[in-house]
Structure formats: C-alpha cells, structure tokens
Amino acid sequence: MVSTQQLTAAIASLLNDEFAPDTPVAFPGRTLDTSSVDEWVELAIDDLSDDIARRANNQFLSFRCDIHVFVKRGDDALRGRALVDELRTLLDGSDVSVRDTDLSDDPIVALCRFNESRVRDLTRSEFSRHDLIHLLISWQPTAQPTS
C-alpha cells in the first residue's frame, strides 16, 4: 500500500525541482521561515481512500492533494495567480512516479494520476497580519501501485 509519506515525498520533490529556491515549498515535516520570502507554497495530502479499489475490484487509491499558495502583497498583485497557473500546468493531467526511498534501489511503487484542479481564493485581508494573498489549489488524484 502506498503511504502518505511516499506520496508527499514524490509531489514535494517535483515542486522543489520546479520552484525552489525562488518559491520555497513547505510540507508536513518541513517548516519554513517565511519572514524573508515574498512567496511560498505549502503541500498537504490527506483523505486517503481505497473505496474506488473496493468498488472496482482493483488497486487504486484516491487521495486529496492541496497546495496552498501564499504571496505577500506588493507591487505584483497578479503573482499569486501566476503561481497557480504554473502549478496547474505542472500537475493537471500529469502522472507522478512515487518511489520507495527506504529501499536501496529506490523503486517506483506507484503512479499518481492528477485530474483537473479546483482553485479557491482564501485571502482574508481583514484578518491577515502580513496582508497575504492565499490561494488554494485542490486535486483528487488516484495512485495505482506498480506491482
């Protein structure tokens, strides 16, 4: 069974390759000091379910993948939307390999298929000390073990 840690590691690695160091990536187990950066993204994976597998009698696993985009307000008011567009281009309709890094040969243990994303604007400037733009991109991908 594919673990949340393996899914998180695969997606975080992809995000780091694409966006770091200009746009740091936070995920469970990694904290960021955001005081010196103007933008960052935070990855969260949850709601793992094998309901699809039980109904269809196969090995698919569904889960929710959320990426929160944070941009400090400044001269570029559209920077948050630009990051969202980059993330959607990277992940919408893509396949992401999930590896088991605990094994010496680092085998691919699953393939994640991302569907179309949903975007919500969660910016609440009246409550924000830092006057942040906060956008949320959500997917409901599936993962299929390779063996």
pLDDT tens-digit readout, 70-97: 998 776 778 999 999 999 999 999 999 9
Phi, psi of 107 (to 5 degrees): -70, 155
**Which domains, from first to last, does the chain contain?**
4-145 (3.30.2000.30)
In whole angstroms, give the CA distance from residue 45 to residue 26. 12
Burial class (CB in 10 A: 0-12, 13-18, 19+), 102: exposed
| pLDDT-above-90 percentage for the chain | 57
Burial class (CB in 10 A: 0-12, 13-18, 19+), 22: exposed
Place of tokens 């936070």: 26
Distances (CA, A) of 67 to 26, 56, 60, 115, 138: 10, 29, 22, 14, 7
Q: What is the pTM of this model?
A: 0.88
Q: Are strands 39-49 and 25-26 parallel, antiparallel or unpaired?
A: parallel
Contact 95, 113 (CB under 8 A): yes
Q: What digits encode the pLDDT tens for the residues 36-70?
A: 999 999 999 987 787 654 555 567 889 999 999 99
